[in-house]
């Protein structure tokens, strides 16, 4: 996921992930010093490398098994960034299928709607001793680094976190991202692809507490491993994987819900 803060058009961004972008084309689209911008983008989680005269996303050359992925989940007290905030965040770093690091925190919040408490179990009282949003966003940014950002239905989590960073004075995220839901649709046959449904079907995380951040992260981690085990063998690099989640054909869904069938037997 790249937004307009990278200052490049869609065609150029595509070239960074595939055949490479020439220095001439890159310089034509920026108003600043190239080396400075490359460092700035890296500080925002995006690493660009130069190979044989052209520029590429570094992930264009990183094999999936060598890549560092960060699986993320957030709970919020509403869906509108203008008036709502993150109340819990969790993440694990994954490399070669193994969890190598983790981060989680509640976020201090003065008011949490009873409906949100009913869904998550989190009350404002639970967060009274938690760090504020600014501290959590700084800590999470450090934890994330330039890892590939993964979430189930990634657009919401990525955008909400990126905008939350901007609210506290940080630059928006530029990390490459991958949607575990889109990947599952192309690697695992299922009637539905909601995380709770997939967990019930495949017993990904038997002790799961749905709508708690670390629990959902660990469920997504198991789903990610299951998807990787079913990958097309032509997927070798991180950019291959990202492209696969967007362009590969979705698997045909069963006509009937096996969970309903089981409950009727």
* CATH number of 162's domain: 3.30.420.10
34 in a structural domain: yes
Q: Does 109 lie in the same domain as 162?
A: yes
Segment 17-55, tens digit of pLDDT: 999 999 888 888 887 788 899 999 999 999 999 999 999
Q: How far is 186 from 235, CA to CA, in rounded Å?
A: 13
Q: Does 208 lie in the same domain as 77?
A: yes
Q: Does 121 lie in the same domain as 223?
A: yes
Q: Does 74 lie in the same domain as 50?
A: no
Q: How far is 159 from 115, CA to CA, in rounded Å?
A: 23
- Rounded to the nearest 10°, the torsion over CA 185, 246, 104, 46 is 160
Q: Does 165 lie in the same domain as 81?
A: yes
Q: Does 56 lie in the same domain as 83?
A: no
pLDDT over threshold 50, residue 1: no
260 in a structural domain: no
| 193 vs 5 pLDDT, higher one | 193
193 in a structural domain: yes
Q: Does 200 lie in the same domain as 169?
A: yes
Q: Which residues pair with 106 in a beta bridge?
A: 88
The CA-atom distances, in angstroms, between 32 and each of 7, 16, 39, 40, 172 are: 10, 19, 12, 11, 18
Segment 172-184, tens digit of pLDDT: 999 999 999 999 9
256 in a structural domain: no
> What mean pLDDT is predicted for residues 133-141?
98
Residue 260's pLDDT band (cuts 50, 70, 90):
confident
> What is the pLDDT, as a whole number, of residue 264?
54
Residues near 90 by beta carbon (within 8 Å), at least 6 away in sequence: 72, 73, 74, 102, 103, 104, 105, 213, 214, 216, 217
217 in a structural domain: yes
263 in a structural domain: no
Q: Where among 13, 34, 60 does a domain terminate? A: 60
253 in a structural domain: no
Domain range for 76 is: 64-247
Q: Does 72 lie in the same domain as 23?
A: no
Segment 50-94, tens digit of pLDDT: 999 999 999 999 999 999 999 999 999 999 999 999 999 999 999
What is the count of structural domains for the chain? 2
Annotate the chain with three-state secondary structure. CCCHHHCCCHHHHHHHHCCCEEHHHHHHCCCCCHHHHHHHHHHCCCCEEEECCEEEEHHHCCEHHHCEEEEEEEEECCCCCCCCCEEEEEEEEEECCEEEEEEEEECCCCCCCHHHHHHHCCCCHHHCCCCCHHHHHHHHHHHHCCCEEEECCHHHHHHHHHHHHHHCCCCCCCCCEEEHHHHHHHHCCCCCCCHHHHHHHHCCCCCCCCCCHHHHHHHHHHHHHHHHHCCCCCCCEHHHHHHHHHHCCCCCCCCCCHHHHHHHC
Q: Does 154 lie in the same domain as 97?
A: yes
Confirm if 127 and 155 have CB atoms less than 8 A apart: no
Q: Does 114 lie in the same domain as 16?
A: no
Segment 219-244, tens digit of pLDDT: 999 999 999 999 988 999 999 999 99
Q: Does 185 lie in the same domain as 144?
A: yes
| 23 vs 263 pLDDT, higher one | 23
Q: Does 204 lie in the same domain as 192?
A: yes
153 in a structural domain: yes
Strands 54-57 and 21-22: antiparallel
């Amino acid at each position: 996921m790249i937004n307009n803060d990278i200052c490049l058009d869609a065609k150029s961004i595509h070239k960074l992930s595939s055949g490479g972008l020439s220095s001439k084309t890159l310089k034509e689209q920026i108003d600043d010093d190239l080396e400075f911008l490359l460092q700035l983008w890296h500080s925002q989680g995006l690493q660009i490398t130069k190979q044989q005269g052209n520029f590429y996303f570094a992930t264009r050359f990183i094999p999936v098994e060598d890549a560092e992925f960060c699986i993320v989940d957030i709970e919020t007290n509403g869906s509108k960034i203008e008036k709502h905030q993150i109340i819990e965040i969790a993440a694990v770093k994954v490399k070669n299928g193994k969890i190598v690091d983790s981060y989680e925190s509640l976020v201090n919040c003065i008011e949490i709607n009873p409906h949100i408490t009913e869904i998550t179990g989190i009350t404002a009282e639970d967060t009274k001793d938690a760090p504020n949003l600014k501290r959590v966003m700084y800590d999470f940014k450090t934890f994330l680094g330039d890892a590939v950002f993964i979430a189930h239905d990634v657009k919401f989590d990525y955008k909400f976190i990126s905008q939350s960073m901007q609210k506290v004075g940080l630059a928006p995220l530029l990390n490459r991202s991958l949607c575990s839901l889109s990947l599952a649709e192309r690697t695992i046959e299922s009637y539905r692809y909601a995380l709770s449904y997939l967990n019930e079907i495949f017993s990904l995380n038997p002790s799961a507490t749905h709508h708690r951040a670390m629990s959902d992260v660990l469920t997504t981690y198991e789903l990610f491993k299951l998807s990787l085990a079913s990958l097309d063998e032509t997927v070798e690099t991180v950019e291959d994987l990202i492209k696969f989640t967007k362009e590969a054909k979705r698997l045909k869904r069963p006509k009937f819900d096996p969970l309903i069938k089981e409950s009727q037997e």
